[in-house]
Structure 1
Amino acid sequence: MTALTSSAPLHHLTQPAAAGYHGLATIGQHVSFYGKVLASLPYALVRYRKHSLSQIGEVTFGNSSLLSGGGTIGIVFAMSLAAAMMLGVETQRGLDLVGMNTLSGMLAAVANTRELAPVVVAIALAAKVGTGFTAQIGAMRISDEIDALDAMALRSIPFLVGTRVIAAVVCVIPIYMIGLLASYLSTRTVVVFFNGASPGTYDYFFHLALGPQDLLYSGIKAIVFAVVVALVHCTYGYFASGGPEGVGQAAGRALRTAILAIGVLDVLLTFALWGLVPEIPGMGV
């Protein structure tokens, strides 16, 4: 009886330490796997070209309708329209309060390009494409198909993960451009046609604030987000266990991790690319 009562406090003390150790081990497992995947990309690009092309087609257009069971283009277009519409509404209302509604075009160009479009594309990729990656690879893991690939001397990491990372990187640029165009059109429609702002003034400040450097940096953010989303979701699927329930749990954890990573990386990349003090060269500020 004494031994049992004395071991109970010890168990409560060691449980947090064990949880912390398990968390660090999981992080180390994921980071090392990310390195293996990135190192295998050249091999996957050369050896598994056909499989990479099939993944590109599935990510972009899918095999069904664009919005329900198909690719990501329709989802990104719809999400960008909705998010940019709210941006236009709140931008116009906020600038009206201080009598500076003529600058709505500048804020639309900066906010849509630097923040809204890359984040919307990344979240759409995580929710639509990433969860599919986790489910596909996780189903292969619990059915021992990955072990069968390794037994046949077919390298599972470049074949399953590397090709999907390549597909995400290739597809994110056209998908991102469609989402960016949708956000531009949506914000302009709300500000000019619904709120009655001057179209000439809006377009003047919009083009004055929007430079090629901003578009380049915004595209870099979208590519980085796509790589991170593909890596996180494929890793959770590759190490899934516990049957179909474990695959579902892995997909949920992967989505939470990817969205958190997108938020943190968005802040870090914004500061790294545009600096702590933002500048708009076309306006001299």
Structure 2
Amino acid sequence: MADTISVGATPSTLRPRLRRLAGTFGTGWNRIGEQTLFYALTIRSVGIAVVHYKAEIVRLIAQMSLGVGALALIGGTVVVVGFLTLSTGAIIAVQGYNQLSGVGVEALTGFVSAYINVRIIAPATAGVALAATIGAGATAQLGAMRIAEEIDALEVIGIRSIAYLASTRVLTGVIVVVPLYCIAALMAFAAARLGTIVLYGQSSGVYDHYFDTFLIPSDLLWSFVQTIAIAVVVMLIHTYYGYTASGGPAGVGEAVGRAVRASLVSAIFVLLLVSLAVYGQSGNFHLAI
């Protein structure tokens, strides 16, 4: 009797694979639905947080901006954002001057600072700083409360947990990001100017001329809009992962890692969408010699 050799997957092995694939697909859609519902409830509960949990908002503002404990000694998030944007502004000076000097137009380094820092570098750096400091801290705090059953205890005593824990943090993130971004933009401008003038010896008058010429005030306002949108998205993602953490301390650490990864990707995506919406039509830029 000749043996029968089957090629490929048989129906008996194909059906479990299809069931696993359908289950994975359904689980992903359910997770997206849960996140969307959580985000909607968090945004809708901002009014409740403002009315009933003012003290918590004030406490979170102090904690997120200046930090607590040992972190308060160095200024908390303010110093982190300042040093990050200081380094990126210095990179603008180094790369901008070197690249432009290759074609003989190094005098336009001030233009590069006024154009790229405002539209891309400063908002992106602020988003990274928010995700790595305020966002990660919020995820860890909420995750620790979840595994310690403190969130369930809040629900038992009649406190709206989403409004008290998530909405307050989202609102605080938006409030804190405004002065933080002012510091970020100033540090980026100062680092680019000092790097170009001190390190490369360019005349301060030349740099200031091109910087003042191409710095558009409306771009600064749109840059604030970009940063606020990024702050909302970052805080929503981090509060969700912290609020739904499970699996003990290891689960909290995993939730922080997942939240940081998701918020960084989402922050760049938001920056891209807002930039395309604002500057995609014409760019609001004209270079004339």
Bigger shift: residues 178-187 or 94-103: 94-103
Question: Which residue of the other structure, out of 182, 187, 190, is the alignment partner of 1:185?
Answer: 190
- Give ranges in structure 1 of 5+ residues lacking alignment: none
Paired letter, 1:157 = I
Matched ranges for 1:102-113 at <5 A: 102-113=107-118
CA contact (8 A) 1:106 1:209 kept: yes
Question: Which residue of the other structure, out of 129, 143, 146, is the alignment partner of 1:141?
Answer: 146
Write the distance in 1 (CA, Å) between the matches of 2:246 and 2:111: 50
Instruction: State the partner residue of 2:161.
Output: 156
CA contact (8 A) 2:49 2:163 kept: yes
Bigger shift: residues 8-17 or 99-108: 8-17
Write the distance in 2 (CA, Å) between the matches of 1:69 and 1:251: 23
Cα drift, residue 86 of structure 1: 1.1
Paired letter, 1:222 = T
Matched ranges for 1:42-191 at <5 A: 42-66=47-71, 71-191=76-196
Cα drift, residue 266 of structure 1: 1.0
Matched ranges for 1:263-278 at <5 A: 263-278=268-283
* TM-score for both structures, normalised by structure 1: 0.93
Write the distance in 2 (CA, Å) between the matches of 1:52 and 1:284: 49
Change (3 A) 1:146 1:131: same
Change (3 A) 1:201 1:110: same
Q: In the alignment, does 2:237 pair up with 1:232?
A: yes
Cα drift, residue 267 of structure 1: 0.9
Paired letter, 2:216 = G
Write the distance in 2 (CA, Å) between the matches of 1:13 and 1:214: 51
Q: Give % identity.
A: 37
Equivalenced residues, count: 280
CA contact (8 A) 1:66 1:75 kept: no
* RMSD (Å), alpha carbons: 1.8
Paired letter, 1:258 = S
CA contact (8 A) 1:64 1:70 kept: no
- Give ranges in structure 2 of 5+ residues lacking alignment: 1-9
* TM-score for both structures, normalised by structure 2: 0.92
SS in 1 for 2:45: helix
Paired letter, 1:271 = L
Write the distance in 1 (CA, Å) between the matches of 2:120 and 2:195: 19
Q: Deviations over 1:74-133 (max 9, x none)?
A: 101111111111111111111111111111111111111111111111111101111111
